């Protein structure tokens, strides 16, 4: 296996695209926020004058990073979910709640993508620019932001459809893997923490 292929573990293409977009968002944050802020601090120290534009660009980078990371947060099931009472219900009820939560997220994502597109289309039609010294065309950062939001909506719609198909095929574990709530052991495994069994050898 080549070194490049080891960086991208085998996974379904929606998850892979979401992961790549999240990496892009992280790179934008690294350069657009951390890099510019570091340069701003250095110029303030050396020349007694900071980069006024760094604040504006950092805001664009933060918005773009949030949009590009939403799809990965969905496929990796890292959105906040309140499921403290979920284990108290029988399996059919848990499945219904998981499906309801996934469909609600899909509806929210589609509405968000729709309204974000309206904002972007308006900026392009009016040739809107920022009121700062940079005069940044607003369509430029908003386009990056909207790509992430649009992909988030696509993923949010695809996941419940795939989950229902697996459920109809009798693949309960496959349903749970797509939209089921993470168990404590799964969260520990996802975080990369090795679980140490107790002294008596029985699992916790």
pTM: 0.77
Mean pLDDT on 35-42: 80
Is residue 99 within 8 A of residue 163, CB to CB? The reply is yes
Count CB neighbours of 65 within 10 A: 23
Q: What pLDDT does residue 107 have?
A: 97
pLDDT digits (tens, 9 = 90+) for 51-86: 667 777 888 888 888 889 999 989 888 887 777 777
Q: What pLDDT does residue 194 have?
A: 61
Predicted confidence (pLDDT) at residue 190 exceeds the cutoff of 60 = no
DSSP secondary structure letters along 159-203: HHHHHHHHHHTT-HHHHHHHHSPPPHHHHHHHTTPPPPPPTTS--
Among residues 78, 71, 74, 69, the alpha carbon closest in space to that of 182 is found at 78
pLDDT digits (tens, 9 = 90+) for 81-109: 777 777 788 888 888 998 999 999 999 99
């Amino acid at each position: 296996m080549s070194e490049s292929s080891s960086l991208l573990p085998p996974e379904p293409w929606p998850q892979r695209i979401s992961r790549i977009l999240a990496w892009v968002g992280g790179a934008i944050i690294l350069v657009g926020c951390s890099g510019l802020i570091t340069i701003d601090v250095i110029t303030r120290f050396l020349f007694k004058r900071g980069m006024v534009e760094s604040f504006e660009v950092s805001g664009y980078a933060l918005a773009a990073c949030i949009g590009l990371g939403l799809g990965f947060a969905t496929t990796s099931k890292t959105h906040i979910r309140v499921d403290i009472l979920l284990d108290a219900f029988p399996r059919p009820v848990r499945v219904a709640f998981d499906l309801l939560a996934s469909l609600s997220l899909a509806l929210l994502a589609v509405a968000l993508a729709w309204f974000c597109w309206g904002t972007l289309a308006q900026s392009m039609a009016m040739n809107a620019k920022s009121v700062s010294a940079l005069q940044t065309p607003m369509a430029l950062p908003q386009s990056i932001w909207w790509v992430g939001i649009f992909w988030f909506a696509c993923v949010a719609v695809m996941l419940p459809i795939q989950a229902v198909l697996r459920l109809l095929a009798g693949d309960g574990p496959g349903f749970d893997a797509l939209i089921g709530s993470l168990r404590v052991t799964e969260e520990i495994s996802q975080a990369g923490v090795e679980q140490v069994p107790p002294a008596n050898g029985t699992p916790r």
